């Protein structure tokens, strides 16, 4: 037996004694060095031997350092398990139900719309979701305030939860079920509709933590938008925000009351207890919203879901639903009174912000009074183009209101129009007009122009919606992979511009964003059309896809000689069915030690990186097959960034004689030293399960590991160096009071990713309005466009920065024909604070850009920063 003494440099933090079991007659020198890109550090070791050269111990020498693992406060430390979806498939092609008589199959469209809502779910999934690529997520939501805020729906293509559009979505869906119950029953979609409505309202009830307290948002929208990755592996902190009597938010509280009151109506016959629970919360929330009549505490959602129309429309809207639920005329009186106080606009649309048209329609149905029917007709005449004021109509027939979510508005007003056409208050001469217009708008969304705007439905449908989890990036880059790994079935994208122009590009969030509220009115309209025209649904359909390769190993020979071989291996976690954190990963390299005649007592091993360990273990002892096993321990390797998704190891195996020819794992390595390639003769395990690669035949007989080290990095002349990820380049420059760091994306895409941080190191405050940042590149013949996705100043506090713009000018010089001059607008950057700018430059036609020959690409020193017209950092070509 041999004793290994392990010491830690500085304070001798830890001393341990390990007993090493003598292996079979082997004498192999194994020097293992491991690198994980999360920290970029090695842990060197020193072998302790006796006078005869036999190994008696391993001294691991490392400096005391902080743990650099990502913050897991908002994510999941355990793997998310895919739900068993046997029998369901995205390839289902058998239909059931009544043959439709409409222009499109409204049954299938309605069916897929509810699949989209299941794909938006947050929290612990129920197991009934019809997908194999979504898993549990955001399981610590609310923990920062000691409450359980798990559940609900992610808002759009991001991972934040905003209760104003979410509650609006549930209200609309409940309205649709209440008004068109038969459509859902006949189409077989009733259980899915009720499941979605309940999933949202369960969450709203959780958010109502006290009579006059309501949590309205989870996740910082700015921080959320700065990271591009799947919901299941979020590691960022997710703060929760609430409104109270002292800091009220009548708009969002009123909408939650409306949702819960509408939920009462659709559950009172099937689940009376749950319906009463919803009603109780609805009444309390309405009283809270009405008592405070203020949005002064509704601050975190500003810029994302600001209440532009005020709160009186929500007070009217919610009161109308409460009147329908309980028949109390006091609520009806409130609905009418608050409608007169609301900032109603007939030239807008029913939407998450403005409930004026919706309230008018509900009151017209309830009261039959001309005040409300006249307002609805004025709005519909504007939308249908039959009034004195007319909406913009695209050449192909879409009533186009606004750049953002043009189809969201058109299809929601299609529902309003169809609903009103069925109402007693609607004049007979307008019924067909309103109905036909509603059909035309829904048909436009489904593909009447030759292009569908609904993912996974119809011809030429969107392939690359602006959606993090559906795109399936593993490296925090929306351009990698180039096409989405998942189909976001049933999602309605934002829609075309005023000339029917549309670009199916993931980065074009204006036309290709999706959102829960986008689908709300669209789903309601589909139920209307199904009621009249019918349609079939797919048998056993679900967003259940074939699982592609989720892990990878790249490896090569670093160096080799007569008595050693040095291996470099990089493991990747690219999971997406669903995405999951690898916390129990192990890598094995298999070797045949038949040619050796030494005792294993002198085995010497090194290991590195946090809790990673390296060992040599028997695999098939009778045939002298062993493996070098690297255990990554608690290291988080997850598909959430260029560093986070990968970990690198480099190890050397030596003896008096070494023959690679009979080693199982060596056979898959390429012939070119130092160049890694994907190999299948190494094996990667996740929690004991083989997830990539292969292993030799024979019974595995893994023994307790012989753990050890290498050499002190300060004395080792042959210390292996980490391989940096090829997907991005970065750099830092510091002078003139500014420290600038730059992180570019992949150099061969259709967008230049500009992820910049400017730190004020001048010792005094800096005027942001005087700053100008110049980035130099080659436009490759295109017309460049600058877009800023996120900008903020972080110092003693957080300050959102608006007004970041980019102007282009022609330049000449080394690797440069164009410069983008980025200015910030106004504000102050205090001493020590950071200015963060995340944006892109792309050609107007989204043509490819070769950045490898760009002057500023990957080099912060080649970006010029000016203050007041004076160059203070970097340089020009």
Catalytic residues: 158, 466, 504, 513
For 98, counting Cβ atoms within 10 Å of its Cβ (0-12 exposed, 13-18 middle, 19+ buried), the class is middle
Give just the sign of the alpha carbon dihedral 545, 551, 557, 559: positive
Eight-state DSSP code of residue 423: S
Alpha-carbon span 35 to 612, nearest angstrom: 9
CA 292 → CA 89, 166, 207, 251, 253, distances in Å? Answer: 49, 22, 18, 10, 10
392 and 410 in contact (C-beta within 8 Å)?
Answer: no
DSSP element (H, E) containing 183: helix 181-187
Supply the DSSP symbol for 25: S
E-assigned strand segments in 510-597: 535-538, 551-561, 564-573, 585-592
User: Which among 378, 543, 390, 566 is positioned nearest to 470, based on CA atoms?
Assistant: 543
CA–CA distances in Å: residue 473 to residues 467, 483, 576, 586: 10, 10, 8, 23
Distance between CA 607 and CA 4 in Å, rounded? 14
Residues 6+ apart with CB under 8 A from 371: 363
Q: Where are the beta strands (DSSP E) in 593-642?
A: 613-620, 625-631
**Count of CA atoms in the C-beta half-sphere (13 A) of 441:** 34
Residue 378 Cα to chain centre, angstroms: 41
Q: How far is CA 298 from the centre of its chain?
A: 24
Token pair for 721: 């160096």
* Contact indicator for 82, 135 with CB cutoff of 8 Å: yes
Q: Considering only CA atoms, which of 799, 868, 837, 790 is closest in space to residue 158?
A: 790
| Range 50-56, long-range pairs (CB < 8 A, 24+ positions) | 53/602, 54/2, 54/601, 54/602, 55/2, 55/601, 55/602, 55/603, 55/604, 56/2, 56/3, 56/4
Q: Measuring CA to CA, which residue among 709, 706, 707 is closest to residue 719?
A: 709
Cα-Cα end-to-end distance for the chain = 65
Residues 6 or more apart whose Cβ sits within 8 Å of residue 277: 205
Cα separation, 186 vs 176, in Å, equals 14
Neighbour tally for 227: CB within 10 Å:
17
Distance CA 497, CA 510 (A): 9
Cross-strand partners of 646? 572
Q: b/e map of 462-496 (b: 16 or more CB within 10 Å)?
A: bebbbbbbbbbbbbbbbbbeeebbbbbbbbbbbbb
Task: State how far the Cα of 99 lies from the Cα of 96, in Å rounded to an integer.
Answer: 8
């Amino acid at each position: 037996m041999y004793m290994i003494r392990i010491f830690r440099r500085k304070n001798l933090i830890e001393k341990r004694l390990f007993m090493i079991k003598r292996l079979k007659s082997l004498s192999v020198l194994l020097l293992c060095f491991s690198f994980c890109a999360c920290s970029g550090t090695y842990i060197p070791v020193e072998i302790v031997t006796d006078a005869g050269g036999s190994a008696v111990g391993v001294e691991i020498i490392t400096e005391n350092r902080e743990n650099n693992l990502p913050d897991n406060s908002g994510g999941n430390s355990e793997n998310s398990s895919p739900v068993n979806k046997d029998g369901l498939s995205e390839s289902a092609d058998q239909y059931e139900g009544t043959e439709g008589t409409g222009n499109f199959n409204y049954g299938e469209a309605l069916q897929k719309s509810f699949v989209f809502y299941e794909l938006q779910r947050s929290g612990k999934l129920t197991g009934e979701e019809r997908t194999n690529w979504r898993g549990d997520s955001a399981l610590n939501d609310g923990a920062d305030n000691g409450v359980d805020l798990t559940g609900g729906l992610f808002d759009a293509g991001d991972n934040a939860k905003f209760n104003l559009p979410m509650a609006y979505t549930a209200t609309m869906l409940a309205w649709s079920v209440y008004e068109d119950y038969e459509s859902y029953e006949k189409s077989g979609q009733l259980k899915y509709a009720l499941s979605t409505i309940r999933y949202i309202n369960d969450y709203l009830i959780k958010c109502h933590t006290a009579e006059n307290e309501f949590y309205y948002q989870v996740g910082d929208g700015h921080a959320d938008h700065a990271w591009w990755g799947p919901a299941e592996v979020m590691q960022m902190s997710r703060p929760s925000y609430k409104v109270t009597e002292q800091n009220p938010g009548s708009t969002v509280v009123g909408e939650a009351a409306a949702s819960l009151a509408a939920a009462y109506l659709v559950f009172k016959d099937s689940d009376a207890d749950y319906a009463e629970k919803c009603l109780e919360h609805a009444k309390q929330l309405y009283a809270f919203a009405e008592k405070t009549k203020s949005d002064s505490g509704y601050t975190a959602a500003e810029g994302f879901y600001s209440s532009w129309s005020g709160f009186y429309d929500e007070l009217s809207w919610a009161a109308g639903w409460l009147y329908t639920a309980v028949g109390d005329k006091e609520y009806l009186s409130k609905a009418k009174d608050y409608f007169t106080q609301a900032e109603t606009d007939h030239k807008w649309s029913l939407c998450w912000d403005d409930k004026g048209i919706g309230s008018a329609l509900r009151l017209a149905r309830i009261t039959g009074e001309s005040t409300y029917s006249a307002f609805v007709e004025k709005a519909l005449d504007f939308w249908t183009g039959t009034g004195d004021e007319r909406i913009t109509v695209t050449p192909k027939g879409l009533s186009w209101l606004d750049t953002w979510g043009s189809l969201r508005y058109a299809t929601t007003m299609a529902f309003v129009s169809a609903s009103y056409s069925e109402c007693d208050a609607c004049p007979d001469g307008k019924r067909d007009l309103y109905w036909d217009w509603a059909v035309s708008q829904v048909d436009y969304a489904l593909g009447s122009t030759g292009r569908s705007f609904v993912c996974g439905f119809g011809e030429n449908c969107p392939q690359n919606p602006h959606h993090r989890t559906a795109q399936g990036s593993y490296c925090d880059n929306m351009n990698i992979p180039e096409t989405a790994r998942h189909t976001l079935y049933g999602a309605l994208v934002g829609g075309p511009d005023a000339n029917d122009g549309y670009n199916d590009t993931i980065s074009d969030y204006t036309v290709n964003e999706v959102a829960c509220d986008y689908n709300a009115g669209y789903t309601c309209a589909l139920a209307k059309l199904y009621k009249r025209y019918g349609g079939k649904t797919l048998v056993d359909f679900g967003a259940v896809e074939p699982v592609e390769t989720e892990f990878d190993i790249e490896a090569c020979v670093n160096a080799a000689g007569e008595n050693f071989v040095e291996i470099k291996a990089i493991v990747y976690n690219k999971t997406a069915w669903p995405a999951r954190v690898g916390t129990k990963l192990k890598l094995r390299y298999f070797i045949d030690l038949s040619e050796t005649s030494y005792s294993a007592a002198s085995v010497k091993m090194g290991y590195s990186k946090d809790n990673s360990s390296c060992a040599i273990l028997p695999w098939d002892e009778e045939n002298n097959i062993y493996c070098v096993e690297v255990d990554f321990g608690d290291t988080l390797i997850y598909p959430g960034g260029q560093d986070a998704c990968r970990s690198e190891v480099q190890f050397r195996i030596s003896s008096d004689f070494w023959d690679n020819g009979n080693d199982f794992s060596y056979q898959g390595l390429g012939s070119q030293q130092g160049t890694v390639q994907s190999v299948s003769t190494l094996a990667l395990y996740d929690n004991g399960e083989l997830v990539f690669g292969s292993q030799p035949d024979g019974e595995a007989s893994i023994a307790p590991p012989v753990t050890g080290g290498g050499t002190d990095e300060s004395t080792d002349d042959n210390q292996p160096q980490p391989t940096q990820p090829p997907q991005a380049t970065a750099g830092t420059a510091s002078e003139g009071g500014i420290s600038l760091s730059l992180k570019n994306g992949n150099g061969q895409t259709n967008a230049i990713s500009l992820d910049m941080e400017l730190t004020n190191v001048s010792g005094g405050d800096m005027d942001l309005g005087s700053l100008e940042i110049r980035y130099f590149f080659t436009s490759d013949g295109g017309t460049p466009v600058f877009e800023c996705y996120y900008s903020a100043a972080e110092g003693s506090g957080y300050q959102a920065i608006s007004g970041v713009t980019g102007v282009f000018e022609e330049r000449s010089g080394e690797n440069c024909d164009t410069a983008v001059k980025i200015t910030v607008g106004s504000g102050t950057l205090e001493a020590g604070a950071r200015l963060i700018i995340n944006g892109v430059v792309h050609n107007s036609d989204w043509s490819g850009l070769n950045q490898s020959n760009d002057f500023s690409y990957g080099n912060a020193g080649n970006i010029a920063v000016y203050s007041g017209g004076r160059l203070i950092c970097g340089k020009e070509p």
